[in-house]
Structure 1
């Protein structure tokens, strides 16, 4: 039985920000990855996993994305990415991106729209709950980053859910529009030649019911 390519892939994880700087600003960039492809090939690597290079506020080292379709200026631009993919493929090296599924940045346009009110069409892209008894958080769940998973929205007085930092609100994967939107992001990058994705925090996208866990 023929194996899929990823079953025999030899990976190199690249954190771009500290990998190789080609423009002298002290931050690694996409051109830096491209310039090392021959070396990467020479040591037997045939797949590069690149940590997030999308537009982001840098709250969590790349995992707080505010635009999944655009490359952050600190790393380069889409032309640099297309060149990287082309040059990697010439050397029979595959490129995979991190796809952050569980959350977005609070600066993402979806969340900025959601903050406008309960009737906004993007409100249900995220997880909201009314306050518990005496106006407290809906339950006592703790964030991976410390403190509560709940952050109060001053306008609506509801709480939004964040498993990680409060500036990284969790997406509501029970919403079919969220599923479609994230699939569209994956399709876009595949159309650019990306060979696959590492699914970040994938195990966290399904949330337990709150109905029996409220205060």
Structure 2
């Protein structure tokens, strides 16, 4: 029997050897940024030119430029940062909507509802992610206060309807409050004046003082 020729052996080796994978040396695309109130911003941008009568070109262009800036300043690279500043973003955008005379517009409510669904999705993502929860518990100062206020506001407005979500919200509020020695702002009552230096009587969980509101 004749042995295979060197040429056929070389061809067989080339056919059975898989090409080595090549590594991409190009720049990695940055992860997409998170913009919770994107629907509301899009509505306001459209409303500036289409639904606000009696405004000249400059009056239309100015809020358009403001909203273009919000598209950048209100975007975040992490879900924790996006949730932390979401309440302030909402207030800012609703103030602009009021200035534009759009407070009663049903499309404004629809846009808000859509974005609040996005907010809930991002909040529950934090609940289900240990690294994200650790990032939350490392918040300090104003950032910690803002996050506490966002979660408490979501609870107060009934956005976290599912029982497991409400339980996780109370849990993360408790843990962050212990870590940063702060409480959600809405839990404090303002406008209360003490009417005596000493307590009227003592209760099972603390002293009771007389005050006026």
| TM bin (shorter chain) | under 0.3
After TM superposition, the score normalised by the length of structure 2 is 0.25
After TM superposition, the score normalised by the length of structure 1 is 0.24
Q: Higher helix fraction: Structure 1 or Structure 2? A: 2
Larger radius of gyration: 2
